[in-house]
Structures are given as structure tokens and as C-alpha cells.
Amino acid sequence: MLSKESKIRVLENFYGIDYVLFGKPLRKVPACCPVIKEEFLSIKGALLSVYVEMLKLMEHSPEVLEEKVTSKTLQGMARENAKSARFASQKVVATEKARKDIKNELKELLKENSDIDISQIVETKIREKAFRLAIDNLLVARALQEANNLEAMNDWTGKIIEDSYKILRDNLCEIAMMIIYDEQTE
């Protein structure tokens, strides 16, 4: 069972994901196709469901909150944590290792299809990597700091949860990119 503070963290991250990916709540992001937004919400819900299992397995134990958390406070916390996560991911994306990873992805794409717009693909791959890193920073980095049993993530159940998390995170980033590019073409 999750503590009250852990449940607040999950809800905070529910809002924080939107700030990481769009810089604002999803409801304020225009999209031509409501089905894409519904898909985004479904995947985000599934990701957070896996995240809850991860928190349970790690025995998540954040500091006890003494003050009452309002919706406005929660939104503010989500916005601030999303800013920090984005900043941290930008620093990582600028590293030489991240550049090599992106170059390798591009080489694979060029092998499959040589008639692609390289500058557009480079921008997309950089943004996708930054999104994945920012979501990891938002959800996982803090959870690891507040966990009592990190070793549990090394067993079979932990590996399954981690693999599920990565798949859902990547799917969420892909759908977010669809929403962003849809918004930019309007």
C-alpha cells in the first residue's frame, strides 16, 4: 500500500508529465484529433500504473507532508519539478555520449530509407531523447532517492516493471511528438 505522500507524488507526476512534454497542461494544447489526446491519456495512465508498482516494489518512502496540498499547490510542484527535469535532460542530451546515440539511430534510419529529411529527423530524435530523459528524471530519479529497497528492482519482477516502464515511456513520447507536430502545423 502506498503512503499518502507517495500517492500525492503520483498525482503530481501525472500533471508534471504534461509540463515536461508540452510546457503546459494537456487540456491547453490544441490538437486536431481528439483520438490522439485520448491515446496519450491512456498511455500516461498505463505508465503511471506501472510507476505505482515500481514505487511499491522499491518501498517508496518520501518525507511526510505536514501541510495540506491543494490542487494549485500540486500544479505548482508539478511545474517546478518538470522544469528541473527538462533542464537536467537538456544537459544530458548535450553530452558526447548522447550525440553518439543519436548518430547511431540516424545511421539505422538512413539504412532503412535514404530519402528522409535529415534535419527534420535529427530534430525529432534529439527531442525524443530529451523527452525520455526528462520523464525518467521526473519519475524515476526522485523515486530512487526516496526508496528504501532499491535491490528489489534487480529481481525478476523489478526487471519486468522496468521493461514495461520503458515501453510505455517511449510510446508516450511518440504520441506527444504527434501532438506537438500537429500543433505546429496548425
> In the structure, what pLDDT confidence band is assigned to residue 105 with cuts at 50, 70 and 90?
confident
Check residue 34 and give its pLDDT. Answer: 85
Check residue 184 and give its pLDDT. Answer: 54
Contact predicate 109/24, CB 8 Å: no
What's the mean pLDDT in 121-137? Answer: 90
Helix-strand-coil percent breakdown of the chain, rounded to 5?
80, 0, 20
Check residue 30 and give its pLDDT. Answer: 83
Check residue 163 and give its pLDDT. Answer: 97
Check residue 183 and give its pLDDT. Answer: 55
What 3-state DSSP class applies to 54? helix
* Average pLDDT value for the chain: 90
Contact predicate 50/165, CB 8 Å: yes
Q: Give the whole-angstrom CA distance, residue 29 versus residue 27.
A: 6
Q: Per residue in 30-43, pLDDT tens?
A: 877 789 999 999 99
Write the CB contacts of 15 (distance below 8 Å, at least 6 apart in sequence).
25, 74, 75, 78, 79
Check residue 126 and give its pLDDT. Answer: 86
- For residue 36, give the amino acid letter: I
Rounded to 5 degrees, what are φ and ψ at 92?
-70, -40
Where are the strands (E) in the chain, listed by range?
none
> In the structure, what pLDDT confidence band is assigned to residue 4 with cuts at 50, 70 and 90?
very high
Check residue 181 and give its pLDDT. Answer: 81
What's the mean pLDDT in 67-80? Answer: 91
Q: Per residue in 175-184, pLDDT tens?
A: 999 998 875 5
Check residue 37 and give its pLDDT. Answer: 92
